[in-house]
Amino acid sequence: MKGVRRAFAELVESFRIAFGALVGARLRTFLTTLGIVIGVSTVIAIVAIIQGLDRSFEEQIQFLGAHTLYVDRAPWIQSDDTWWMYRNRKKITVEELRAVQRESQLAVSVAPMSGVRGKVARGNVELESVVIRGTSEEYLNANGGSVQAGRFLVAGDVELARAAVVLGTDVVDRLFPDEPVAAAVGKKVLVAGRPFQVVGVLERQGQMLGMPLDNVAVMPYPSFGRIFGNQRNMVLSVAAPPGKVAELESELTPILRKARHVLPGKPDDFAFNRQEQFLKLYKQLTGALYGMAIGVGLITLIVGGIGIMNIMLVSVHERTREIGVRRALGARRSTILMQFLIESAAVAALGGALGTAVGLGVAQLVALLSPLAAAATPSAIVFGIAFSTATGLIFGIWPAWRAANLDPVEALRYE
């Protein structure tokens, strides 16, 4: 018990002496921390921006559906060397849609999607480049989303090829300015010059990769084919039960090969696309940024650590006589070692705290002045301070060891 009390008293005294030395040389302490501040702030700012982008990206691709397969004639992510393999493939058609609806046992819902950019007008207001999409009543079940006013398409709209349309909020805001969203329901609009009745308005979805998702007009796919032709490529969105996306893909492969008359031994002439492919590609791209942030931070922290070591060696030199007096009065080597380690760690921790604050401030400034998001997790903040403190301890070992191993007699005679 006596030993514990002595160790605690020595620790408290070491903290008091270390912080007293730092306060007594405030300018030197500030200049020493600059290297640590720059390194930590750089890492925290980059990590905060990347984490903000991660969160924003994940939110934006939620509309794709975590349990939805998108059957297309080509993968969405292609390289410059492979695009030619897909350009001449047969289009996905109603034949494949009906085969999946008829034969799949796992599919929760199946919706076709065909699209063009065209004009939507009301009165004197004409909107260009609206995404006009042909689909079925299963669209929301397969892709997610909801209707905020009116209703979505129903089976009767599809079977009878009715002139019914569901509009996105961007289209409604511009065609029906200064009116509540519900006011659009039941009104007539012109889609590609043809009259359609608005039966519903979709909930706002925002953007994905900078592309607006609410600039859309959704109609039954037979009505779409009647206006724009039935030879356009379809994408089938097929929803799987949770956790069974891979099983659904295995089930759909022979169904689609049969429907598309792919001969045995020949490769598939269709592709399965899913949300996780975008996430995988995104993580590969941001992984390089994380590596760069860590590399820059490590280099700067090493430079800052060398600065701490240099200043601590100067401090040991200046306080040689003080160390000799303390050793003569009974201070142990471990006590002297602890004092100087605490001093170097405190300098680095101070730099880490300041660097974290500066880095978060820079990240928030970037978020305010640009489309980039910023969101640092508590773990990143704790890591920044802890890593800088560890740097101070590592680079403070040599000066602390020198101080602890000074000869007391020689130290007392030092002038």
Q: Compute how many other C-beta atoms are within 10 angstroms of the C-beta atom of residue 4.
A: 8
128-133's contacts with Cβ under 8 Å and 24+ in sequence apart are 129/215, 130/171, 130/215, 130/216, 130/217, 131/215, 131/216, 131/217, 132/191, 132/192, 132/216, 132/217, 132/219, 132/224, 132/228, 133/216, 133/217, 133/218, 133/219, 133/224
Residue 14, pLDDT > 60, answer: no
- Per-residue pLDDT, averaged over 96-103, amounts to 91
Share of the chain above pLDDT 90, in %: 25
Q: Tell me the mean pLDDT in the region 151-165.
A: 94
The average pLDDT across 311-329 equals 75
pLDDT of residue 154: 94
Question: Binning pLDDT at 50, 70 and 90, where does residue 16 land?
Answer: low
Cα 151 to Cα 197: distance, rounded to the nearest angstrom: 12
Give the β-pairing of 194-202 and 164-167: parallel
Tracing tokens 């007391």 back to the chain, one arrives at 408
**Is 404 a residue whose pLDDT tops 60?**
yes
Helix (H) or strand (E) holding 254: helix 245-259
**Up-side HSE of residue 106: CA atoms within 13 Å toward CB?**
20
Question: Does 199 have pLDDT greater than 90?
Answer: yes
- pTM for the full predicted model: 0.64
User: pLDDT at position 13, please?
Assistant: 55
Residue in the structure block whose two tokens are 């005294």: 13
pLDDT at position 19 is 58
Q: What is the CA radius of gyration of the chain?
A: 33
